[in-house]
Structure 1
Amino acid sequence: MSEKSTDRRIVRTKRLIRDALTELMEEKGFEGITVRDLTKKADINRGTFYLHYRDKYDLLEQSEAQILNEIEKMTQEINPNDFLNFNSENDPFPFIINLFEFFHENSSFMKVILGPKGDASFQGKLRDIIKKTFFQHIMSKIKGEEMLVPVEYLFSYVSSAHLGVIQHWLENGMEKSPREMAMILSRITLLGPRHVTGLIKN
Protein backbone atom coordinates (compact mmCIF):
# COMPACT_ATOMS: atom_id res chain seq x y z
CA MET A 1 0.00 0.00 0.00
CA SER A 2 1.36 3.46 -0.91
CA GLU A 3 2.23 6.05 1.72
CA LYS A 4 -0.55 8.35 0.46
CA SER A 5 -3.12 5.57 0.75
CA THR A 6 -1.95 4.84 4.27
CA ASP A 7 -2.16 8.52 5.20
CA ARG A 8 -5.67 8.78 3.78
CA ARG A 9 -6.74 5.71 5.72
CA ILE A 10 -5.34 7.16 8.96
CA VAL A 11 -7.11 10.47 8.36
CA ARG A 12 -10.36 8.63 7.63
CA THR A 13 -10.03 6.47 10.75
CA LYS A 14 -9.32 9.48 12.96
CA ARG A 15 -12.30 11.28 11.49
CA LEU A 16 -14.54 8.32 12.25
CA ILE A 17 -13.32 8.29 15.85
CA ARG A 18 -13.80 12.05 16.23
CA ASP A 19 -17.29 11.79 14.76
CA ALA A 20 -18.05 9.04 17.26
CA LEU A 21 -16.75 11.23 20.07
CA THR A 22 -18.94 14.11 18.87
CA GLU A 23 -22.10 12.01 18.77
CA LEU A 24 -21.45 10.43 22.14
CA MET A 25 -20.64 13.74 23.83
CA GLU A 26 -23.94 15.11 22.57
CA GLU A 27 -25.76 12.04 23.92
CA LYS A 28 -24.15 11.59 27.33
CA GLY A 29 -21.38 14.13 27.90
CA PHE A 30 -17.66 13.41 27.84
CA GLU A 31 -17.35 11.87 31.30
CA GLY A 32 -19.98 9.27 30.49
CA ILE A 33 -18.08 7.95 27.45
CA THR A 34 -15.92 4.83 27.46
CA VAL A 35 -13.41 3.61 24.88
CA ARG A 36 -15.78 0.72 24.23
CA ASP A 37 -18.53 3.24 23.38
CA LEU A 38 -16.18 4.97 20.96
CA THR A 39 -15.02 1.83 19.17
CA LYS A 40 -18.57 0.53 18.86
CA LYS A 41 -19.87 3.84 17.48
CA ALA A 42 -16.93 4.18 15.05
CA ASP A 43 -17.14 0.48 14.11
CA ILE A 44 -13.47 -0.18 14.79
CA ASN A 45 -11.62 -2.50 17.16
CA ARG A 46 -9.86 -1.39 20.34
CA GLY A 47 -6.45 -2.03 18.79
CA THR A 48 -7.17 0.51 16.06
CA PHE A 49 -8.23 3.08 18.65
CA TYR A 50 -5.10 2.58 20.77
CA LEU A 51 -2.95 2.81 17.65
CA HIS A 52 -3.84 6.51 17.53
CA TYR A 53 -4.83 7.52 21.07
CA ARG A 54 -3.80 6.60 24.62
CA ASP A 55 -7.33 7.04 25.98
CA LYS A 56 -10.43 9.17 25.55
CA TYR A 57 -8.69 12.17 27.14
CA ASP A 58 -5.90 12.00 24.56
CA LEU A 59 -8.54 11.79 21.83
CA LEU A 60 -10.29 14.91 23.10
CA GLU A 61 -6.99 16.76 23.50
CA GLN A 62 -5.79 15.89 19.99
CA SER A 63 -9.17 16.73 18.45
CA GLU A 64 -9.22 20.14 20.12
CA ALA A 65 -5.56 20.81 19.26
CA GLN A 66 -6.24 20.12 15.59
CA ILE A 67 -9.06 22.68 15.56
CA LEU A 68 -7.02 25.31 17.41
CA ASN A 69 -3.97 24.77 15.17
CA GLU A 70 -6.08 25.37 12.06
CA ILE A 71 -7.47 28.58 13.52
CA GLU A 72 -3.95 29.72 14.47
CA LYS A 73 -2.88 29.18 10.85
CA MET A 74 -5.73 31.37 9.65
CA THR A 75 -4.75 34.19 12.00
CA GLN A 76 -1.29 34.29 10.42
CA GLU A 77 -2.85 35.36 7.11
CA ILE A 78 -4.64 38.40 8.55
CA ASN A 79 -3.95 41.78 6.99
CA PRO A 80 -4.02 44.42 9.79
CA ASN A 81 -5.22 47.02 7.28
CA ASP A 82 -8.48 45.08 6.91
CA PHE A 83 -9.39 46.23 10.41
CA LEU A 84 -8.37 49.84 9.90
CA ASN A 85 -10.04 50.30 6.51
CA PHE A 86 -13.30 48.53 7.35
CA ASN A 87 -16.49 50.17 6.10
CA SER A 88 -19.94 48.76 6.82
CA GLU A 89 -20.77 48.81 3.09
CA ASN A 90 -17.70 46.79 2.16
CA ASP A 91 -17.15 43.07 2.33
CA PRO A 92 -16.53 41.59 5.80
CA PHE A 93 -13.06 40.79 7.05
CA PRO A 94 -11.64 37.88 5.02
CA PHE A 95 -10.35 36.27 8.22
CA ILE A 96 -13.81 36.19 9.78
CA ILE A 97 -15.32 34.69 6.63
CA ASN A 98 -12.66 31.96 6.71
CA LEU A 99 -13.29 31.41 10.42
CA PHE A 100 -17.03 30.89 9.99
CA GLU A 101 -16.48 28.66 6.94
CA PHE A 102 -14.13 26.54 9.03
CA PHE A 103 -16.67 26.33 11.86
CA HIS A 104 -19.33 25.37 9.33
CA GLU A 105 -17.16 22.55 7.96
CA ASN A 106 -16.57 21.29 11.51
CA SER A 107 -19.98 22.29 12.85
CA SER A 108 -20.91 19.01 14.55
CA PHE A 109 -17.77 18.97 16.68
CA MET A 110 -17.76 22.73 17.28
CA LYS A 111 -21.40 22.78 18.39
CA VAL A 112 -20.78 20.05 20.95
CA ILE A 113 -17.41 21.24 22.22
CA LEU A 114 -18.69 24.82 22.67
CA GLY A 115 -22.03 23.69 24.07
CA PRO A 116 -23.18 22.83 27.61
CA LYS A 117 -21.82 19.26 27.34
CA GLY A 118 -18.53 20.43 25.86
CA ASP A 119 -15.15 21.42 27.28
CA ALA A 120 -14.97 24.72 29.13
CA SER A 121 -11.18 24.74 28.82
CA PHE A 122 -11.50 24.66 25.02
CA GLN A 123 -13.72 27.72 25.16
CA GLY A 124 -11.02 29.46 27.16
CA LYS A 125 -8.34 28.51 24.64
CA LEU A 126 -10.45 29.77 21.74
CA ARG A 127 -11.13 33.00 23.60
CA ASP A 128 -7.38 33.41 24.15
CA ILE A 129 -6.72 33.04 20.41
CA ILE A 130 -9.25 35.79 19.71
CA LYS A 131 -7.61 38.02 22.32
CA LYS A 132 -4.14 37.40 20.92
CA THR A 133 -5.31 38.01 17.36
CA PHE A 134 -6.95 41.28 18.34
CA PHE A 135 -3.85 42.37 20.23
CA GLN A 136 -1.41 41.59 17.43
CA HIS A 137 -3.39 43.27 14.67
CA ILE A 138 -5.08 46.15 16.44
CA MET A 139 -2.94 47.35 19.33
CA SER A 140 0.03 48.19 17.14
CA LYS A 141 -2.20 50.78 15.45
CA ILE A 142 -3.72 52.28 18.62
CA LYS A 143 -2.31 55.01 20.83
CA GLY A 144 -2.71 53.88 24.41
CA GLU A 145 -3.33 57.37 25.74
CA GLU A 146 -6.33 57.77 23.41
CA MET A 147 -8.15 54.69 24.67
CA LEU A 148 -11.34 55.32 26.64
CA VAL A 149 -11.20 52.02 28.59
CA PRO A 150 -8.39 49.81 29.94
CA VAL A 151 -7.06 47.54 27.23
CA GLU A 152 -7.56 44.30 29.20
CA TYR A 153 -11.29 45.00 29.52
CA LEU A 154 -11.54 45.77 25.82
CA PHE A 155 -9.89 42.47 24.93
CA SER A 156 -12.12 40.54 27.34
CA TYR A 157 -15.22 42.17 25.85
CA VAL A 158 -14.23 41.50 22.25
CA SER A 159 -13.18 37.88 22.80
CA SER A 160 -16.26 36.99 24.85
CA ALA A 161 -18.57 38.75 22.39
CA HIS A 162 -17.04 36.91 19.42
CA LEU A 163 -17.33 33.57 21.17
CA GLY A 164 -20.93 34.30 22.17
CA VAL A 165 -21.92 35.09 18.58
CA ILE A 166 -20.25 31.90 17.31
CA GLN A 167 -22.01 29.78 19.95
CA HIS A 168 -25.40 31.35 19.20
CA TRP A 169 -24.98 30.67 15.48
CA LEU A 170 -24.02 27.02 16.06
CA GLU A 171 -26.79 26.42 18.60
CA ASN A 172 -29.46 27.85 16.30
CA GLY A 173 -28.76 25.71 13.26
CA MET A 174 -26.43 28.07 11.36
CA GLU A 175 -29.36 29.66 9.51
CA LYS A 176 -27.17 32.47 8.21
CA SER A 177 -24.27 31.74 5.88
CA PRO A 178 -20.63 32.12 6.98
CA ARG A 179 -20.41 35.28 4.88
CA GLU A 180 -23.52 36.79 6.49
CA MET A 181 -22.17 35.96 9.95
CA ALA A 182 -18.82 37.48 9.08
CA MET A 183 -20.58 40.69 8.05
CA ILE A 184 -22.59 40.77 11.27
CA LEU A 185 -19.53 40.24 13.45
CA SER A 186 -17.41 42.71 11.46
CA ARG A 187 -20.03 45.43 11.89
CA ILE A 188 -20.54 44.82 15.60
CA THR A 189 -16.79 44.74 16.25
CA LEU A 190 -15.80 47.87 14.35
CA LEU A 191 -18.94 50.00 14.49
CA GLY A 192 -20.10 49.11 18.00
CA PRO A 193 -23.48 48.09 19.47
CA ARG A 194 -25.01 51.59 19.51
CA HIS A 195 -24.20 52.15 15.85
CA VAL A 196 -25.54 48.81 14.61
CA THR A 197 -28.81 49.27 16.54
CA GLY A 198 -29.38 52.56 14.77
CA LEU A 199 -29.04 54.69 17.88
CA ILE A 200 -26.16 56.51 16.21
CA LYS A 201 -26.86 57.63 12.64
CA ASN A 202 -24.22 58.02 9.95
Structure 2
Amino acid sequence: MENKKADRRIHRTKRLIRDALSVLMEEKSFEEITVKDITEKADINRGTFYLHYQDKYDLLEQSEDEIIKEIQKLGMESINFIESWIVSAFETPLPFIVNVFEYFKKNAVFLKPILGPKGTGSFPIKFKSVLSANLMRIRKTIKGDTLVPEEYLISYIVGAHISVLQQWLESGMKETPDEMALILSRLTGMGPAFAAGLITK
Protein backbone atom coordinates (compact mmCIF):
# COMPACT_ATOMS: atom_id res chain seq x y z
CA MET A 1 0.00 0.00 0.00
CA GLU A 2 2.80 2.40 0.91
CA ASN A 3 4.52 1.70 -2.40
CA LYS A 4 1.32 2.54 -4.30
CA LYS A 5 0.97 5.80 -2.40
CA ALA A 6 4.60 6.65 -3.13
CA ASP A 7 4.09 5.84 -6.82
CA ARG A 8 1.04 8.11 -6.95
CA ARG A 9 2.99 10.93 -5.30
CA ILE A 10 5.82 10.53 -7.81
CA HIS A 11 3.35 10.50 -10.70
CA ARG A 12 1.62 13.65 -9.40
CA THR A 13 4.94 15.43 -8.92
CA LYS A 14 6.20 14.52 -12.39
CA ARG A 15 2.89 15.59 -13.92
CA LEU A 16 3.13 18.89 -12.04
CA ILE A 17 6.63 19.46 -13.42
CA ARG A 18 5.57 18.53 -16.96
CA ASP A 19 2.57 20.84 -16.79
CA ALA A 20 4.81 23.66 -15.58
CA LEU A 21 7.07 23.14 -18.59
CA SER A 22 4.03 23.10 -20.87
CA VAL A 23 2.76 26.45 -19.56
CA LEU A 24 6.20 28.01 -19.91
CA MET A 25 6.48 26.78 -23.51
CA GLU A 26 3.35 28.77 -24.32
CA GLU A 27 5.25 31.85 -23.22
CA LYS A 28 8.75 31.30 -24.62
CA SER A 29 10.91 28.82 -26.48
CA PHE A 30 12.26 25.70 -24.78
CA GLU A 31 15.85 26.97 -25.03
CA GLU A 32 14.91 30.09 -23.06
CA ILE A 33 13.38 28.09 -20.20
CA THR A 34 15.52 27.33 -17.16
CA VAL A 35 15.15 24.74 -14.40
CA LYS A 36 14.53 27.67 -12.04
CA ASP A 37 11.61 28.78 -14.23
CA ILE A 38 10.16 25.27 -14.10
CA THR A 39 10.51 24.82 -10.32
CA GLU A 40 9.02 28.25 -9.63
CA LYS A 41 6.08 27.59 -11.94
CA ALA A 42 5.52 24.13 -10.38
CA ASP A 43 6.05 25.57 -6.87
CA ILE A 44 8.62 22.94 -5.92
CA ASN A 45 12.26 23.14 -4.89
CA ARG A 46 15.17 22.32 -7.18
CA GLY A 47 15.99 19.22 -5.13
CA THR A 48 12.59 17.73 -5.96
CA PHE A 49 13.14 18.41 -9.65
CA TYR A 50 16.55 16.71 -9.64
CA LEU A 51 15.13 13.65 -7.88
CA HIS A 52 13.33 12.88 -11.15
CA TYR A 53 15.30 14.58 -13.94
CA GLN A 54 18.92 15.35 -14.74
CA ASP A 55 18.05 18.62 -16.44
CA LYS A 56 15.37 20.22 -18.59
CA TYR A 57 16.43 18.15 -21.61
CA ASP A 58 15.92 14.93 -19.64
CA LEU A 59 12.51 16.23 -18.56
CA LEU A 60 11.51 16.90 -22.15
CA GLU A 61 12.77 13.55 -23.43
CA GLN A 62 11.11 11.53 -20.66
CA SER A 63 7.84 13.43 -21.13
CA GLU A 64 7.83 12.88 -24.90
CA ASP A 65 8.67 9.20 -24.54
CA GLU A 66 5.87 8.70 -22.01
CA ILE A 67 3.39 10.29 -24.42
CA ILE A 68 4.62 8.15 -27.32
CA LYS A 69 4.28 4.95 -25.27
CA GLU A 70 0.74 5.88 -24.27
CA ILE A 71 -0.20 6.60 -27.89
CA GLN A 72 1.18 3.19 -28.89
CA LYS A 73 -1.17 1.59 -26.36
CA LEU A 74 -4.24 3.03 -28.05
CA GLY A 75 -4.43 0.03 -30.36
CA MET A 76 -2.91 1.26 -33.58
CA GLU A 77 -1.39 -2.16 -34.27
CA SER A 78 -4.75 -3.96 -34.38
CA ILE A 79 -7.08 -1.81 -36.46
CA ASN A 80 -7.65 -2.60 -40.12
CA PHE A 81 -7.64 0.90 -41.60
CA ILE A 82 -8.55 -0.03 -45.16
CA GLU A 83 -11.59 -2.12 -44.22
CA SER A 84 -12.80 0.56 -41.82
CA TRP A 85 -12.48 3.31 -44.44
CA ILE A 86 -14.59 1.34 -46.92
CA VAL A 87 -17.30 0.61 -44.36
CA SER A 88 -17.50 3.82 -42.38
CA ALA A 89 -15.49 6.72 -43.79
CA PHE A 90 -18.61 8.78 -44.50
CA GLU A 91 -20.72 8.19 -41.40
CA THR A 92 -18.71 6.66 -38.55
CA PRO A 93 -15.27 7.80 -37.38
CA LEU A 94 -12.58 5.18 -36.90
CA PRO A 95 -12.41 4.13 -33.21
CA PHE A 96 -8.62 4.39 -33.10
CA ILE A 97 -8.63 7.92 -34.54
CA VAL A 98 -11.29 8.94 -32.00
CA ASN A 99 -9.02 7.60 -29.25
CA VAL A 100 -6.07 9.61 -30.58
CA PHE A 101 -8.07 12.85 -30.62
CA GLU A 102 -9.45 12.15 -27.14
CA TYR A 103 -5.93 11.52 -25.90
CA PHE A 104 -4.63 14.72 -27.50
CA LYS A 105 -7.48 16.71 -25.94
CA LYS A 106 -6.83 15.22 -22.51
CA ASN A 107 -3.12 16.04 -22.80
CA ALA A 108 -3.46 19.30 -24.73
CA VAL A 109 -1.59 21.26 -22.04
CA PHE A 110 1.59 19.45 -23.05
CA LEU A 111 0.88 18.51 -26.67
CA LYS A 112 -0.15 21.95 -27.93
CA PRO A 113 3.16 23.68 -27.12
CA ILE A 114 5.30 20.65 -27.95
CA LEU A 115 3.75 20.51 -31.43
CA GLY A 116 3.69 24.28 -31.78
CA PRO A 117 6.29 26.79 -33.02
CA LYS A 118 8.01 27.00 -29.62
CA GLY A 119 8.57 23.23 -29.47
CA THR A 120 11.97 21.68 -30.18
CA GLY A 121 10.72 19.63 -33.14
CA SER A 122 11.72 16.31 -31.56
CA PHE A 123 8.21 15.14 -30.65
CA PRO A 124 6.74 15.43 -34.19
CA ILE A 125 9.63 13.29 -35.43
CA LYS A 126 8.91 10.60 -32.82
CA PHE A 127 5.19 10.72 -33.49
CA LYS A 128 5.76 10.52 -37.24
CA SER A 129 7.97 7.47 -36.72
CA VAL A 130 5.24 5.69 -34.72
CA LEU A 131 2.55 6.42 -37.31
CA SER A 132 4.82 5.50 -40.22
CA ALA A 133 5.80 2.18 -38.66
CA ASN A 134 2.15 1.35 -38.07
CA LEU A 135 1.18 2.15 -41.66
CA MET A 136 4.07 0.05 -42.95
CA ARG A 137 2.80 -2.94 -40.94
CA ILE A 138 -0.70 -2.44 -42.29
CA ARG A 139 0.55 -2.05 -45.85
CA LYS A 140 2.25 -5.44 -45.68
CA THR A 141 -1.09 -7.11 -45.00
CA ILE A 142 -2.78 -5.59 -48.06
CA LYS A 143 -2.60 -7.11 -51.52
CA GLY A 144 -2.08 -4.97 -54.59
CA ASP A 145 0.23 -2.19 -55.64
CA THR A 146 0.04 1.46 -54.69
CA LEU A 147 -0.49 4.08 -57.41
CA VAL A 148 2.44 6.12 -56.09
CA PRO A 149 5.73 5.10 -54.40
CA GLU A 150 4.93 3.67 -50.99
CA GLU A 151 7.29 5.91 -49.03
CA TYR A 152 5.60 9.03 -50.40
CA LEU A 153 2.13 7.66 -49.72
CA ILE A 154 2.97 6.97 -46.09
CA SER A 155 4.71 10.33 -45.68
CA TYR A 156 1.64 12.08 -47.11
CA ILE A 157 -0.81 10.31 -44.81
CA VAL A 158 1.31 10.75 -41.69
CA GLY A 159 2.03 14.40 -42.45
CA ALA A 160 -1.67 15.08 -42.97
CA HIS A 161 -2.59 13.44 -39.66
CA ILE A 162 -0.04 15.47 -37.71
CA SER A 163 -0.96 18.71 -39.46
CA VAL A 164 -4.68 18.24 -38.75
CA LEU A 165 -3.96 17.50 -35.09
CA GLN A 166 -1.80 20.62 -34.84
CA GLN A 167 -4.47 22.78 -36.45
CA TRP A 168 -7.13 21.42 -34.10
CA LEU A 169 -5.01 22.15 -31.01
CA GLU A 170 -4.07 25.63 -32.21
CA SER A 171 -7.66 26.55 -33.05
CA GLY A 172 -8.91 25.72 -29.56
CA MET A 173 -10.33 22.22 -30.13
CA LYS A 174 -13.82 23.52 -30.97
CA GLU A 175 -14.80 20.24 -32.65
CA THR A 176 -15.25 17.08 -30.60
CA PRO A 177 -12.81 14.17 -30.96
CA ASP A 178 -15.57 12.24 -32.79
CA GLU A 179 -16.11 15.09 -35.25
CA MET A 180 -12.39 15.44 -35.90
CA ALA A 181 -11.95 11.69 -36.32
CA LEU A 182 -14.71 11.67 -38.93
CA ILE A 183 -13.12 14.61 -40.77
CA LEU A 184 -9.76 12.87 -40.83
CA SER A 185 -11.31 9.53 -41.81
CA ARG A 186 -13.01 11.14 -44.79
CA LEU A 187 -9.90 13.03 -45.83
CA THR A 188 -7.71 9.94 -45.60
CA GLY A 189 -10.20 7.38 -46.90
CA MET A 190 -11.56 9.36 -49.83
CA GLY A 191 -8.83 11.90 -50.53
CA PRO A 192 -8.71 15.71 -50.35
CA ALA A 193 -10.06 16.17 -53.89
CA PHE A 194 -13.25 14.30 -52.93
CA ALA A 195 -13.49 16.14 -49.59
CA ALA A 196 -13.15 19.48 -51.41
CA GLY A 197 -16.02 18.58 -53.74
CA LEU A 198 -13.80 18.50 -56.82
CA ILE A 199 -14.85 14.94 -57.60
CA THR A 200 -17.95 12.95 -56.68
CA LYS A 201 -18.83 9.28 -56.21
Do they superpose with TM above 0.5?
yes
CA distance in 2, matches of 1:89, 1:166: 19
Task: Provide Cα deviations, 1:19-45, integer angstroms capped at 9, x if missing partner.
Answer: 110111111211111111111111111
8 A Cα contact 2:90 2:186, kept in partner: no
Deviation at 1:76, TM superposition (A): 4.5
TM-score, normalization: structure 2? Answer: 0.94
Deviation at 1:149, TM superposition (A): 0.6
Q: Which position in structure 2 is the counterpart of 1:98?
A: 99
Deviation at 1:77, TM superposition (A): 5.2
Deviation at 1:93, TM superposition (A): 0.9
Deviation at 1:8, TM superposition (A): 1.1
8 A Cα contact 1:20 1:42, kept in partner: yes
Judge which range, 179-188 or 66-75, deviates more: 66-75
Q: Which position in structure 1 is the counterpart of 2:44?
A: 44
TM-score, normalization: structure 1? Answer: 0.93
Deviation at 1:106, TM superposition (A): 0.3
Query: What's the C-alpha RMSD, in Å, of the aligned pairs?
Result: 1.4
Deviation at 1:89, TM superposition (A): 3.5
**For structure 2, which runs of at least 5 residues remain unmatched after alignment?**
none
Deviation at 1:175, TM superposition (A): 0.6
Q: Which has the higher contact order (CA 8 A, sep 6+)?
A: 2
CA distance in 2, matches of 1:110, 1:31: 17
**For structure 1, which runs of at least 5 residues remain unmatched after alignment?**
none
The correspondence of residues 91-170 of structure 1 with structure 2, limited to 5 A, is 91-144=92-145, 147-170=146-169
Runs of 4+ displaced beyond 4 Å: none
The correspondence of residues 5-24 of structure 1 with structure 2, limited to 5 A, is 5-24=5-24
CA distance in 2, matches of 1:158, 1:23: 30
Task: Provide Cα deviations, 1:59-96, integer angstroms capped at 9, x if missing partner.
Answer: 0000000000111112455321x432423333111110
